[in-house]
């Protein structure tokens, strides 16, 4: 009998496999739930929450360890860049422009004769602060709006949903080009503000869905039947059970905000020289890509690795928090 893409037993056994898997899983889970050992001592006897379970998982996950270590390193050097870079990123010597690696200057010099190593190290500060602050703003605004809309529903929810639709329709880069081109100050705040403005609908949509799912749980109904107030329901019962997807998406989004900052700076609407940022350096280096590729390599490499680290961290966190894999 020839092999076929769709098999009838696939229809019975295959499509049912989900159900079968659930059964097996639930059988195994029942066991897991049973406190082990006499009088519940032993390794399972200790009280443990889902968060500590997740942490236990994460600690064993090499992807998490590598990306978390890198991110810690990144945070440290953005707080104290002088720890590993003694020079000044703005101290440039045109005479050394485009020169390659040499002792004391392992990454060489850029088009203005600035030390690429020092600039790459100092650029981390911009990237990390933009990423972290934008993510914080987006998460707070998005989860509060989305959470309230999901919890209360009704007209407010409908209006918010339409607003998020409108924001989703705005192309991010085009929006940045238009909105940020009118900004005159050269700080990270307009960039962060722009990201929060355009980013919150993403988190809001996730938070809304997650709250709607959580609020249907019987334990929320049970608390309601006890007479719990809305704020208790939201803070004690819904938020802790709805926050996981928000954390996951926010972690992954952090990486994309860092790359968005670089993109905007590259396009000349984000930060502008003399600010130090990977995006600015990439933009400057792109003119010399044939003669001095090292100028592009280091900031672009740092950017790529940083974004990747946050995305991998987000993935690892999702794996640890996803209750379906439990």
Cα gap 270→264, rounded to integer Å: 5
Is 17 near other proteins (CB under 8 A)?
A: yes
- Note whether 31 binds other proteins by CB under 8 A: yes
The span of 77-85, 111-119, 185-193, 228-236 binding other proteins (CB under 8 A) equals 228-236
Q: How far is the CB of 40 from other proteins (least distance, A)?
A: 7
Q: Three-state SS for 304?
A: helix
**Span interacting with other proteins, options 117-125, 166-174, 213-221, 287-295, rule CB under 8 A:** 213-221
The CB-of-46 to other proteins minimum distance in angstroms stands at 9
Q: Out of 55, 219, 272, 289, which residue is the one contacting other proteins (CB under 8 A)?
A: 219
136-154 exposure pattern, b = at least 16 Cβ within 10 A, e = fewer = ebbbebbbebbbbbbbeee
Q: Is 43 in the site for other proteins (CB under 8 A)?
A: yes
- Does 27 contact other proteins by CB under 8 A? yes
* Contacts for 230 with CB less than 8 Å, ≥ 6 apart: 151
Mark the segment that binds other proteins (CB under 8 A) among 36-44, 78-86, 127-135, 261-269: 36-44
Return the residue of 39, 166, 290, 324 that touches other proteins, per CB under 8 A: 39
- Cβ contacts of 102 within 8 Å, gap of 6 or more: 108
**Distance from C-alpha of 286 to C-alpha of 87, rounded to nearest angstrom:** 24
Characterise 80 by phi-psi region: left (phi > 0), alpha (psi -120 to 50), beta (else).
Answer: beta
In the complex with other proteins, which residue's Cβ is closer, 14 or 106? Answer: 14
CB of 60 to other proteins, least distance (A): 9
Among 120, 202, 241, 259, binds other proteins (CB under 8 A): 241
35 is an interface residue for other proteins by CB under 8 A: yes
- CA gap 181, 7 in Å, rounded: 58
**Nearest CB to other proteins, comparing residues 50 and 177:** 50
Counting contacts by CB under 8 A, is residue 165 touching other proteins? Answer: no
20 belongs to the binding site for other proteins (CB under 8 A): yes
CB of 224 to other proteins, least distance (A): 6
* CA separation for the pair 77, 306 (Å, rounded): 13
Q: Which residues of 263-291 are buried (b: 16+ CB within 10 A; e: fewer)?
A: bbbbeebbbeeebbbbbbbbbbbeebeee
Contact 259, 279 (CB under 8 A): no
- CA–CA dist 285, 212 (Å, integer): 48
Kindly state the smallest distance separating residue 240's Cβ from other proteins, in Å: 4
| Residue closest to 285 by CA, chosen among 118, 126, 112 | 112
Contact between 6 and other proteins by CB under 8 A: the answer reads yes
Rounded distance, CA 191 to CA 194, Å?
Answer: 5
In the complex, which residues of this chain contact other proteins (CB under 8 A)?
A: 1, 3-4, 6-9, 11-21, 23-24, 26-28, 30-40, 43-44, 47-51, 56-57, 158, 217-219, 221-229, 232, 236-237, 240-241
């Amino acid at each position: 009998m020839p092999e076929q893409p769709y098999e009838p037993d696939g229809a019975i056994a295959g499509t049912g496999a989900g159900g079968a898997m659930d059964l097996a899983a639930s059988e195994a889970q029942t066991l897991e739930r049973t406190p082990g050992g006499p009088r519940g001592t032993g390794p399972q006897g200790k009280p443990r929450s889902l968060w500590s379970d997740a942490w236990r998982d994460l600690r064993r996950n090499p992807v998490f360890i590598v990306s978390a270590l890198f991110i810690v390193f990144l945070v440290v050097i953005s707080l104290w860049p002088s720890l590993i870079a003694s020079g000044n990123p703005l101290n440039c010597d045109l005479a050394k422009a485009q020169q390659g690696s040499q002792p004391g200057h392992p990454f060489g010099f850029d088009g203005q004769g600035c030390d690429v190593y020092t600039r790459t190290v100092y650029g981390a500060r911009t990237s990390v602060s933009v990423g972290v602050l934008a993510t914080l703003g987006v998460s707070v605004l998005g989860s509060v709006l989305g959470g309230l809309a999901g919890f209360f529903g009704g007209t407010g929810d409908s209006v918010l949903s339409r607003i998020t639709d409108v924001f989703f329709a705005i192309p991010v880069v085009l929006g940045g080009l238009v909105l940020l081109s009118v900004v005159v100050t050269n700080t990270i705040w307009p960039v962060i503000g722009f990201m929060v403005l355009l980013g919150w609908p993403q988190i809001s949509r996730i938070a809304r869905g997650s709250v709607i799912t959580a609020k249907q749980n019987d334990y929320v109904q049970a608390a309601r039947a006890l007479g719990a107030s809305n704020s208790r329901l939201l803070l004690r019962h819904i938020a802790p059970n709805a926050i996981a997807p928000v954390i996951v998406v926010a972690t992954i989004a952090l990486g994309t905000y860092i790359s968005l900052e670089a993109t905007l700076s590259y396009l000349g609407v984000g930060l502008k020289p003399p600010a130090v940022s990977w995006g600015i350096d990439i933009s400057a280096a792109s003119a010399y890509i044939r003669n001095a590729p090292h100028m592009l390599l280091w900031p672009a490499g740092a950017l790529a690795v940083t974004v990747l680290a946050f995305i991998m961290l987000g993935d690892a966190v999702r794996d640890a928090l996803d209750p379906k894999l439990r």
